[in-house]
Amino acid sequence: MALSEREQKLLEEMERNLLAQDADLAKTLRSTGGTNQSAGKLVAGVLVFLAGLGLLILAVVLQVAFFGVVAFLVMLIGLVVASANFKLPELPKIEPGQKSNFFEDRWNQRFGNE
């Protein structure tokens, strides 16, 4: 069900106010990008993967090796498209003179052994 123009404007105003009040949230949202684009690529990738899986099963039933290779490539393309928008978390920046071990720091933060 689509939103009316008034509801869309109200939603946009609420979003602007929320981003203006919370700087950390605004920074996080800017770094992750648009969710609609990510969701669309994820759905398309999953559908292509499932189509490739169906083709692979058909290739096994028909016992055609070349068709199986093509089906596998279709599955691989689906996985690449589905995972294209995922970002790994950034590691903390270490200054040139500073010696630090990321995993040791995480351990210390988690268990309070600073």
| Helix residue spans in the chain (DSSP H) | 5-21, 23-32, 35-62, 65-82, 102-111
Lowest mean pLDDT among 8-12, 30-34, 68-72, 90-94: 30-34
The pTM of the full predicted model, rounded to 2 decimals, is 0.47
**How far apart are alpha carbons 69 and 81 in whole angstroms?**
19
**CA-CA-CA-CA torsion for 86, 87, 89, 92, nearest 10 degrees?**
170
For 23-59, what is each residue's pLDDT tens digit? 776 677 666 555 455 677 888 888 999 999 999 999 9
Better pLDDT: 12 or 85: 12
**How far apart are alpha carbons 93 and 85 in whole angstroms?**
23
Spell out the domain ranges in the chain.
36-111
**How far apart are alpha carbons 64 and 15 in whole angstroms?**
54
| Mean pLDDT, the chain, whole residue set | 78
